[in-house]
């Protein structure tokens, strides 16, 4: 009997033995694993186009290699450098003006005393996230364009219309405001979930010690969600080369192109509006992926050095 037990234990110590022992759990994750492999890993074979001159007749595998020619064209294009600067600038501004908003919103919602009112507000703030940018852009155009509702009210009170969506000085603030309106409530859910995991005895002890509501929020709630804030910040830095194409594509126009021309919009124009060159577009996309990965690792190392916490070791 002891020898049989030792045999079973030795088999379960191997990789395939552990997989077989936990086969029911692996069966549950198998559909998700297949989905990730099919739609995230297999398409990566197409990245070879970054080093090829794409020919539709020959296909991805038959197109001739051209080395770093796509990248040599890229660095000589002034529109690329403008898009690169705009992408980094807009992303950093989003972190400054948008990242704190869900945190503050979650803290304020958590301080509400009436649970029913809290749920109503959560629903109201979350709902815009389920609207596409096509719908939101239509709403914003009706409100903010020169003949829109807001400018109509301004004219009625004797003021001059404000070019909200056609001014180089106003277009970026409008991006941040509209994105906060759309996504802040949804992002706040993550912080509310983290707040719900804080030990309530800490609050009870603070009340006994005479701490007011603001002090409890500052010294208990905020430190309690510190790890979540750090992780979300690192992920935000890791996506710095993605400056919000859906929003900019739907709200942008040629009058403000110099201020909001980001890499994704540059890729779109080079792929679908000018000469179709999938190799050139893939080269930019591959470069974006490497830069995002580098920003992610850098942000993780900096936060680990400053706060002793990070996304991974």
> Which tens digit of pLDDT belongs to each residue from 165-214?
888 899 999 999 999 999 999 999 999 999 988 888 888 888 888 888 88
Rounded Cα distance between 181 and 185, Å, is: 8
pLDDT band at 32 (very low <50, low <70, confident <90, very high): very high
Q: What is the largest CA-CA distance in the chain?
A: 95
Rounded alpha-carbon distances, angstroms, from residue 18 to 5, 31, 225, 279 = 15, 19, 35, 43
What DSSP designation does 43 have?
G
User: pTM, whole model, 2 decimals?
Assistant: 0.83
Residue found under tokens 């600038």: 89
For the four alpha carbons of 273, 275, 278 and 280, in that order, the dihedral sign comes to negative
**What percentage of the chain exceeds 90 in pLDDT?**
29
Q: Which two tokens stand for residue 244?
A: 């919000």
List, for residues 244-300, the tens digit of each pLDDT value.
889 999 988 888 888 999 998 888 888 877 767 788 888 888 889 899 999 988 988
Please report the pLDDT score of residue 122 as a whole number: 87
pLDDT at 4 over 60: no
List, for residues 37-83, the tens digit of each pLDDT value.
999 888 888 888 889 888 878 888 888 888 888 888 888 888 889 99
Fold of the 78-307 domain: MetI-like fold (1.10.3720)
**Helical residues (DSSP H) of 209-261, grouped into ranges:** 213-216, 222-224, 226-238, 245-251, 257-260
Please report the pLDDT score of residue 303 as a whole number: 86
**Helical residues (DSSP H) of 145-196, grouped into ranges:** 149-156, 171-196
**Structural domain boundaries in the chain:** 78-307
């Amino acid at each position: 009997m002891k020898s049989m037990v030792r045999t079973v234990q030795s088999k379960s110590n191997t990789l395939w033995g552990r997989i077989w022992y936990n086969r029911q759990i692996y069966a549950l994750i198998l559909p998700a694993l297949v989905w990730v492999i099919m739609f995230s890993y297999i398409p990566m074979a197409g990245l070879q186009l970054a080093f090829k001159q794409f020919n539709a007749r020959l296909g991805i595998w038959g197109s001739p290699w051209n080395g770093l020619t796509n990248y040599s064209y890229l660095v000589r294009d002034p529109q690329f450098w403008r898009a690169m600067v705009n992408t980094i600038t807009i992303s950093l501004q989003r972190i400054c003006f948008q990242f704190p908003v869900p945190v503050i919103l979650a803290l304020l919602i958590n301080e509400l005393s009436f649970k029913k009112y809290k749920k109503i507000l959560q629903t109201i703030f979350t709902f815009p996230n389920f609207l596409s940018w096509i719908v939101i852009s239509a709403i914003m155009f009706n409100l903010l364009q020169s003949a829109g509702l807001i400018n109509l009210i301004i004219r009625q009170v004797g003021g001059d219309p404000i070019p909200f969506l056609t001014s180089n000085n106003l277009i970026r603030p409008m991006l941040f405001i509209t994105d906060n309106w759309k996504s802040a409530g949804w992002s706040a859910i993550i912080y509310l979930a983290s707040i719900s995991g804080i030990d309530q005895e800490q609050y009870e002890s603070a009340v006994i010690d005479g701490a007011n509501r603001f002090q409890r929020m500052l010294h208990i709630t905020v430190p309690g969600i510190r790890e979540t804030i750090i992780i979300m910040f690192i992920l935000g830095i890791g996506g710095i080369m993605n400056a919000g194409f859906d929003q900019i594509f739907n709200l942008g126009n040629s009058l403000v192109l110099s201020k909001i021309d980001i890499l994704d919009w540059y890729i779109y124009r080079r792929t679908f509006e000018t000469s179709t060159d999938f190799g050139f577009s893939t080269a930019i996309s591959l470069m974006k992926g490497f830069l995002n990965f580098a920003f992610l690792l850098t942000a993780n190392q900096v936060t680990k050095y400053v706060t002793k916490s990070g996304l991974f070791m």
